[in-house]
Amino acid sequence: MSSPEDQNDKELSVLQKDALKELGKIGADQAAKALTEFLEQSIYMKATSLEMGNIESVPTLLRNQYHSNTQIAIFSASNTTEIAYTVVILFDKEIVTKILSQKSPPTDDIEAVMEFSTMFMDMLREIGSIILIKYILTLNEILNLNGALPSQPILRIGKLDSLLNYELNTFKKESDVLIIECDIQLEAEFYYNYLKTYLILIPHHETYTRFLRRTNQENR
């Protein structure tokens, strides 16, 4: 049986919402810095909007940006210590081809992304892992979980609906999520092109209240 501190308070205060939004912004900024170092050119990643929802609302919210059959790459990783949560990031065709072209020859064929060389796939995994791991380590520092390491990031490629159903099926339907819309800018295209992506932060149901309390403490 869950203890009182682990019971999920469904109504978020203004302070709690602000704290969760701040987590989204800080994590995106730190992930961009790590990606800049890897690609050896300036990459800018900023949270442009943040929306609270639940697991059931995620596919609907994302269909405002993607068609249900859109081919995407999804990376996911979790922190499984005393305060557990999962972070998921979505890459569509434009992001995959443009970011990876910074380190390898560009491709306009999304099917190639699903079948191409080991080197190309390894680079895709590396970029996704850099963003996720840096994001989670940043959140762990804010949550005072220093020393906690995330799980190994997992890459899946396929259609939006089928991947989301698979990825989110393990969570309770009422689980709250923070959907963070981010703009990614490449140095060479800084003034005229934004790449849109989404980070989904899912505090695990069992430790949700502790997650909120810890974010409040860190943002007072």
Kindly state the average pLDDT of the residues 100-105.
62
pLDDT, tens digit, 9 for 90 and up, residues 103-113 = 655 455 545 54
User: 141 burial class (0-12, 13-18, 19+ CB within 10 angstroms)?
Assistant: middle
**Which contiguous run of DSSP H or E holds residue 69?**
none
pLDDT, tens digit, 9 for 90 and up, residues 30-86 = 888 888 888 777 788 878 888 888 888 888 888 777 887 888 888 999 998 889 999
Residue 68 belongs to a domain: yes
What pLDDT is attached to residue 113? 47
Residue 6 belongs to a domain: no
Task: For Cα atoms 203, 66, 192, give the angle at the middle one, nearest 5 degrees.
Answer: 100
Residue 4 belongs to a domain: no
Decide which of 12 and 35 is more confident: 35
Q: Which domain holds residue 48?
A: 13-218
Residue 8 belongs to a domain: no
Give the whole-number percent of the chain exceeding pLDDT 90. 4
CATH of the domain at 153: 3.40.1550.10
Looking at the chain, list the stretches that DSSP marks H as alpha helix, in order from N- to C-terminal side.
Answer: 14-39, 58-62, 93-100, 110-115, 118-142, 160-168, 208-218
Q: Helix (H) and strand (E) counts for the chain?
A: 7, 6
φ and ψ of 175, to 5 deg: -60, 135
φ and ψ of 179, to 5 deg: -100, 115
Residue 197 belongs to a domain: yes
Residue 38 belongs to a domain: yes
pLDDT, tens digit, 9 for 90 and up, residues 82-92 = 899 999 988 88
> Is residue 20 pLDDT above 80, yes or no?
no
**Which contiguous run of DSSP H or E holds residue 11?**
none
Number of separate domains in the chain: 1
pTM of the model: 0.79
Given pLDDT bands bounded at 50, 70 and 90, which one contains residue 193? Answer: low
